[in-house]
């Protein structure tokens, strides 16, 4: 009969062994936390904030609404599309606090603007208001040919065939919220977008001067560029169409000066001169990579860019790649509401920001690179 081995009890842990085990457990838990830690939204020196949708969408919208809540005297909003009940509610709340709220929008989206403001006033939740035409019409009071009062908010619309394509918010003189992001729920929740909070009274005044011109009936705007600076960041904002040619020339100048790499994420790219300079950059040895919104490939110069040596991909977002971004040498960023098109500098109301900041350029480059890698090569 086989003899059974007796089980030896494990030796008791001494103090040193116990400390080692706890240290290893602590390192494991620290590693797990580091891998799954919430990523803080970066704040550059001077308080500049950058947000990328859809991953930052909830935080970005909450931050925008909080900034609106800080307004005490004036809150000016220029929005190509306005379709968000939460943001509409923030505007109505500001008006109830005695803040002078002005919303300037594109006439093509007048119906949506009205419905979302009325829906917010009725306390509706979700993504889209549920209203009859009569319910909306009952809350509208005409002021003149361009302007009306919707519930308690004064709203004016452009009357041109070109787009009023701005997306910016100015609470008092606290700063400017701007970028590619329309004030719509799907822009924050679904699309590839970017937004910046630039806390500068001087920049707020420059944007407000442009807003005042539009609001007062000068629908092509003033077009006066304005410089802005923060610690480690300096740049210029341009306003189309009056200042559009200056803005376009500034883009072309930056492309002529690029030395190492260009990353592009674009809703549309139809400017032939930009395509030509991208090809020239490639022949100088610059790495040029671009990702374009899939549904606009027929309009964009994708094949021309490919023929010029640019590595072009179509985006993989089932919704919309709505960015208008170039990152040059991981030092310069070009962004704003400005699509890289002829209409953007000749016809539309746009704001274009060109700034130098290595930390923000690195963040933008990582975002565009991720979108590019997820994209699909052209056929």
Q: What residues are labeled active site?
A: 322, 324, 329
- Six-digit token pair at 77? 């909003």
For 264, phi then psi, to 5°, come to -130, 130
CA-only gyration radius of the chain, Å:
25
Cβ-Cβ contacts under 8 Å for 181 (sequence gap 6 or more): 51, 53, 60, 167, 187, 188, 191, 193, 194, 195, 322
Secondary structure letter of residue 3 according to DSSP: P
Of 79, 75, 229, nearest to 153 by C-alpha is 75
Neighbours of 24 (CB within 10 A): 10
Burial category of 2 from C-beta neighbours within 10 Å (exposed 0-12, middle 13-18, buried 19 and up): exposed
Beta strands (DSSP E) in the chain are: 49-53, 74-79, 82-83, 100-105, 140-142, 147-150, 153-157, 167-171, 176-179, 183-184, 193-198, 226-230, 233-240, 261-266, 287-292, 311-314, 324-328, 332-336, 350-356, 376-377
Placement of tokens 């030509």 in the chain: 276
């Amino acid at each position: 009969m086989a003899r059974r081995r007796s089980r030896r009890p494990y030796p008791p842990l001494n103090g040193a062994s116990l400390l080692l085990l706890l240290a290893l457990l602590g390192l494991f838990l620290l590693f797990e936390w580091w891998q799954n830690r919430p990523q803080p939204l970066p704040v550059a020196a001077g308080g500049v904030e950058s947000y990328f949708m859809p991953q930052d969408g909830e935080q970005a919208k909450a931050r925008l609404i909080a900034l609106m809540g800080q307004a005490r005297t004036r809150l000016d909003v220029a929005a190509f599309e306005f379709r968000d009940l939460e943001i509409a509610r923030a505007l109505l709340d500001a008006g109830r606090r005695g803040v002078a709220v002005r919303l300037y929008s594109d006439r093509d989206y007048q119906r949506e603007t009205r419905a979302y403001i009325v829906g917010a006033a009725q306390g509706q939740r979700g993504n889209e208001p549920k209203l009859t035409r009569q319910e909306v019409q009952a809350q509208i009071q005409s002021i003149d040919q361009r302007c009306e009062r919707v519930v308690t908010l004064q709203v004016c619309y452009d009357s041109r065939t070109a787009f009023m394509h701005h997306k910016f918010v100015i609470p008092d003189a606290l700063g400017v919220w701007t970028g590619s992001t329309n004030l719509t729920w799907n822009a924050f929740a679904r699309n590839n977008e970017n937004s910046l909070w630039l806390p500068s009274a001087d920049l707020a005044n420059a944007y407000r001067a442009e807003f005042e011109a539009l609001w007062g009936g000068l629908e092509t705007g003033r077009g006066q560029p304005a410089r802005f600076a923060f610690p480690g960041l300096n740049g210029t904002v341009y306003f189309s169409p009056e200042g559009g040619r200056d803005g376009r020339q500034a883009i072309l100048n930056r492309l002529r000066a690029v030395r190492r790499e260009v990353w592009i994420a674009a809703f549309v790219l139809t400017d032939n001169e930009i395509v030509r300079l991208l090809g020239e950059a490639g022949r100088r040895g610059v790495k040029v990579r671009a990702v374009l919104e899939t549904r606009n490939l027929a309009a964009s110069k994708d094949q021309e860019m490919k023929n010029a040596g640019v590595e072009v991909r179509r985006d993989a977002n089932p919704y919309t790649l709505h960015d208008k971004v170039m990152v040059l040498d991981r030092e310069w960023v070009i962004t704003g509401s400005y699509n890289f098109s002829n209409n953007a500098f000749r016809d539309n109301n746009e704001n274009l920001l060109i700034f130098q900041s290595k930390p923000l350029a690195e963040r933008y480059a990582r975002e565009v690179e991720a979108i590019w890698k997820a994209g699909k090569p052209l056929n």
